[in-house]
Homo-oligomer: A and B are copies of this chain.
Amino acid sequence: MNILFIGDIVGNPGREAIKVFLKPLIKEYGIDLTIANGENAAGGKGLTKEVAEELYDYGIEFITMGNHVWDQRSIMKFIDQEARLIRPANYPVGAPGKGYGYIRTKGKKIGILNLSGRVFLNNLEDPFSGAIRWINEMRQETPLIIVDFHAEATSEKVALGWFLDGKVSAVLGTHTHIQTADARLLHQGTAYITDVGMSGPRDSVLGVKKETIINRFLTQLPAKFELAAGPIQLNAVVIDVDESTGKARSIKAIQRVQE
């Protein structure tokens, strides 16, 4: 089974990238399931119902989130009704939404787990011990499990990859908006990449107009963020998962750019 996982979609340019590149990619790689991180899909910050539906329309079948999950407060109203939308599982019990979900394709159930790192990020529950607990529950349902680990520090991401090696089909990092060059199969058959990257305006600072961010570093003054114009890119990985064992057969990093 071929699963396409797309890195943080940033605003309108990011959604445009999905519109332009998704269908051809599905065809080219024989994709059976498409997952995307949507934490920046609404104007760069969070997700609205309209934006989620636009993404579903383009062919995204499941959406994961990250530290920007609550940036659009309206998500608190609809996230509990969405079967195809999850947020980091290690938010305190009682947070709106859920941390893992399932989707069916080709007669198989695939579990998707969203986790947030803690290093340089929010004070959430331990993603390491939490992962084991949640994965044990998920494995009652299916051995096909994809983990989106939304985290900043490479040490935390690499460590979680090794920690979950053999327990899930893939551990895919998100959040830094820069694709890493370390996609590989770990020893026990888990596909791993430290960061899938970003889908949005290429000539930018993580999606935002570069002049804005440079100026913020130079002046330490607050600035109104504006997404960058120019060429759009899609960053993703394709993972081939053995449907009976849940082990990954391969992982391939993908970058597309349209000038």
Chain A residues within CB distance 8 Å of chain B: 70, 73, 76, 91-96, 118-120, 122-126, 128-129, 152-156, 158-160, 162-163, 176-182, 187, 194-195, 197, 203, 205-206, 210, 213-214, 217-222, 253, 255
Would you mind naming 20 contact pairs between A and B with Cβ atoms under 8 Å apart?
A: A91-B219, A91-B221, A94-B219, A95-B220, A119-B123, A123-B220, A126-B217, A129-B218, A154-B176, A155-B213, A158-B213, A159-B210, A160-B217, A162-B210, A162-B214, A163-B214, A178-B181, A178-B182, A180-B181, A181-B255
Flag if A221 contacts B120 (CB, 8 Å): no
Which residues of the other chain, B, contact A70 by a CB distance below 8 angstroms? 221-222
Cβ-defined partner of A91 (8 Å) among B177, B220, B255: B220
B129 touches A92 (CB 8 A): yes
Question: Do A219 and B180 touch (CB < 8 A)?
Answer: no
Q: Contact at A159–B214, with CB atoms within 8 Å?
A: yes
CB distance from A248 to the nearest CB of B (A): 17
Please, how many angstroms separate the alpha-carbon atoms of A180 and B195 in the complex? 9
